[in-house]
Amino acid sequence: MRRFFAAAFLAASCTLAAISAQARANFVFTLVQAGNNIDISGSGTFNTSSLVFDTTLNSVGSTLSASAGLLIVAPAGGANAWRYTGISGPSSFGPGRPPVSPLGTGDLVGTIFGTELYVPENYVSGSYLSYNGVIADETYSGIGSTPGSYIYTWGSGPTADSLTINIGVVPEPASLAMLGVPAALALLRRPRVGWPSCSQSGKLVTTPFLSSARNVHVDHDTD
């Protein structure tokens, strides 16, 4: 029984580790209808090392225009921004209506045209950013948006990163950990070939049992 719970726990932990690895080093916006308003929140980091710095812009304010793929949030009164090029993604997230201005607190973050990324002036790559605000008295259709997930990417390998805009989509990563439990159950039903362990990718792997001590080989460092 203890082996059962250990394997189930490990499977869930591996799944969470994989989710965490995928979620690390990116930024996610979420827009959700809440009564008569649209709540907007965002958090995460950006790896800007593969992007091309374009210019510094002064007093950039919050604006949303779905037809232009424009979503920029900023603290009240606006903030100075660094603009980067080199991202790739949807050029719009709906047919659009007249631009609206979210109101909230936090850091300046944004994108437009599916090609540009906006971060606070003097932003250090990898630094955490967040924002919480509201678009008052509006609906998804009222702002001309189409519910869905819009993903903007750049870089490759260690410089790969992304910005995601979820409109009417609320991800629940914690619930995905349960996907690891069936994997553990299946593993326990198989012949005993070894103990489960977690690989660097977050996958469940099996370490073979040793039949006797003479199967163990240790390399000694002679340096």
**pLDDT at position 33, please?**
98
pLDDT at residue 184 tops 90: no
Confidence grade of residue 170 (pLDDT, cut at 50, 70, 90): confident
Confidence grade of residue 185 (pLDDT, cut at 50, 70, 90): very low
Q: How far is CA 141 from the centre of its chain?
A: 25
Confidence grade of residue 2 (pLDDT, cut at 50, 70, 90): low
Is 181 a domain residue? no
Is 213 a domain residue? no
pLDDT at residue 85 tops 70: yes
pLDDT at residue 16 tops 50: no
User: What is the reported pTM?
Assistant: 0.69
pLDDT at residue 42 tops 60: yes
Is 147 a domain residue? yes
Is 14 a domain residue? no
Confidence grade of residue 147 (pLDDT, cut at 50, 70, 90): very high
Confidence grade of residue 171 (pLDDT, cut at 50, 70, 90): low
Is 221 a domain residue? no
Q: Count up the domains in the chain and report the number.
A: 1
Per-residue pLDDT tens digits for 57-84: 999 999 999 999 999 999 999 999 999 9
| Mean pLDDT of all residues in 188-196 | 46
Domain that holds residue 155: 26-174
Is 159 a domain residue? yes
Is 206 a domain residue? no
Is 66 a domain residue? yes
